[in-house]
């Protein structure tokens, strides 16, 4: 395991954190939950039919000692969750509808986090991103002053660590969105012991091309500086000008970023998604995430193609986010 996750384990262990894993019958989830509990890092909470989960774990030879299992159909405090959900939705759902909605494992799990019965949630092994994010936006919601949640990847290769955003959520962010993503991504970087140096990316460097697309990015730089004057952020940059010192000297000699950026903000979701996958597949970087940021409490989304290790690692990250709330 990389130094990054060894450090996260040390940070998280001993804090009595609980992470909800709503997809309790998924083998990858079961194996990761058993491992997290066995290593005494945190307490996993599985959601689903208790007998079915225990039977499947037994068939797979997975110990669920120190793992909690909640079944929405028989949860003792469901009335409390239903009342809190109706209040949170401000009359948009009736008590009867709330009771039905909370039988859904993602809504139920998110309410456990909202009601302080858990510290975070990891889902998505068997659900779409929308199925994971929608309950979070309706129940947990974004932090005060944050308009939208965004999704980042931590790109890891041996000792190298970089933050790529937004690679998961916002299709066509405007200048205000990009500034917000930059500031939130810098906060995420610090959680991973990365001293953030933020590059706002485009197909132009410092006005070498002029278009509404480049104006959007340069405007985002100014907005990010206005919101957080201490943040080291600049752009717009082509990637090489942000990453290669010799290119930075030629293209942006007066910039505080001299080929040493470690947080990269992409101008659109398509660019971010393509960019992280190229680094992952051609550069042999491990792509950890997507990590959702800007929410009041941590909720994170797995890929449906994830493996046990992905579940384990994203659970560690979610627990670390909980400590930083």
- So what's the pLDDT on residue 56? 96
Residue 137 and residue 155 in one domain:
no
CATH of the domain at 229: 3.40.50.10750
Q: At what angle are helices 308-323 and 27-38 packed, to 10 degrees?
A: 50
Number of domains forming the structure of the chain? 2
Whether residue 289 lies inside any domain: the answer is: no
Stretch (H or E) spanning 39: none
Residue 72 and residue 168 in one domain:
no
Residues 164 and 264: beta-carbon distance below 8 Å: yes
Q: Which two tokens stand for residue 85?
A: 């959900």
Residue 41 and residue 101 in one domain:
yes
Residue 312 has φ and ψ, to the nearest 5°, of -60, -50
Whether residue 290 lies inside any domain: the answer is: no
Residue 154 and residue 277 in one domain:
yes
Residue 317 and residue 255 in one domain:
no
Whether residue 25 lies inside any domain: the answer is: yes
Whether residue 91 lies inside any domain: the answer is: yes
Residue 272 and residue 303 in one domain:
no
Residue 264 and residue 306 in one domain:
no
CB neighbours (10 Å) of residue 167? Answer: 27
Task: Read off the DSSP letter of residue 172.
Answer: S
- So what's the pLDDT on residue 324? 81
CATH of the domain at 125: 3.40.50.10950
Residue 271 and residue 307 in one domain:
no
Residue 160 and residue 137 in one domain:
no
Whether residue 93 lies inside any domain: the answer is: yes
> Which residues touch 18 (CB under 8 Å, ≥6 apart)?
42, 43, 44, 45, 68, 117, 118, 119
Whether residue 229 lies inside any domain: the answer is: yes
In order of 67, 89, 269, the CA distances from 133 in angstroms are 24, 16, 16
Per-residue pLDDT of the chain (325 residues; tens, 9 = 90+): 677 788 889 889 989 999 999 999 999 999 999 999 999 999 999 999 999 999 999 999 999 999 999 999 999 999 999 999 999 998 788 999 999 999 999 999 999 999 999 999 999 888 888 899 899 999 999 998 899 999 999 999 988 999 999 998 999 999 999 999 999 999 999 988 899 999 999 999 998 999 999 999 999 999 999 999 999 999 899 999 999 999 999 999 999 999 999 999 999 999 999 999 999 999 999 888 889 999 999 999 988 888 999 999 999 999 999 988 7
Residue 167 and residue 262 in one domain:
yes
Give the burial class of 68: count Cβ atoms within 10 A of its Cβ; 0-12 exposed, 13-18 middle, 19 or more buried: middle
Whether residue 303 lies inside any domain: the answer is: yes
- So what's the pLDDT on residue 60? 95
Residue 175 and residue 248 in one domain:
yes
Q: What is the domain extent for residue 25?
A: 3-141+295-323
């Amino acid at each position: 395991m990389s130094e990054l996750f060894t450090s996260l384990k040390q940070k998280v262990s001993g804090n009595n954190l609980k992470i909800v894993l709503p997809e309790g019958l998924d083998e990858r989830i079961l194996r990761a939950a058993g491992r997290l509990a066995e290593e005494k890092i945190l307490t996993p909470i599985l959601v689903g039919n208790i007998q079915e989960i225990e039977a499947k774990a037994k068939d797979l030879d997975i110990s669920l000692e120190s793992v909690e299992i909640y079944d929405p159909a028989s949860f003792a405090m469901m009335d409390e969750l239903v009342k809190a959900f109706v209040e949170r939705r401000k009359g948009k759902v009736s008590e009867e509808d709330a009771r039905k909605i909370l039988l859904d494992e993602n809504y139920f799990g998110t309410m456990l986090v909202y009601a302080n019965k858990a510290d975070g949630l990891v889902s998505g092994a068997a659900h779409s991103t929308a199925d994971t994010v929608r309950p979070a936006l309706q129940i947990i919601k974004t932090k005060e002053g944050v308009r939208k949640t965004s999704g980042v990847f931590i790109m890891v290769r041996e000792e190298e660590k970089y933050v790529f955003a937004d690679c998961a959520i916002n299709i066509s962010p405007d200048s205000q969105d990009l500034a917000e993503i930059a500031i939130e991504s810098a906060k995420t970087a610090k959680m991973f012991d990365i001293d953030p140096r933020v590059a706002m990316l485009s197909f132009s460097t410092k006005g070498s091309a002029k278009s509404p697309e480049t104006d959007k990015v340069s405007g985002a730089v100014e907005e990010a500086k206005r919101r957080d004057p201490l943040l080291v952020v600049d752009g717009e940059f082509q990637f090489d000008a942000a990453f290669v010192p010799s290119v930075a000297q030629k293209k942006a000699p007066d910039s505080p970023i001299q080929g040493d950026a470690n947080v990269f903000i992409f101008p659109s979701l398509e660019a971010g998604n393509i960019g992280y996958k190229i680094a992952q597949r051609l550069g042999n970087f491990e792509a950890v995430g997507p990590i959702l940021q800007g929410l009041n409490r941590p909720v994170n989304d797995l890929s449906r193609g994830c493996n046990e290790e992905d579940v384990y690692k994203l659970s560690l990250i979610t627990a670390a986010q909980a400590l930083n709330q």
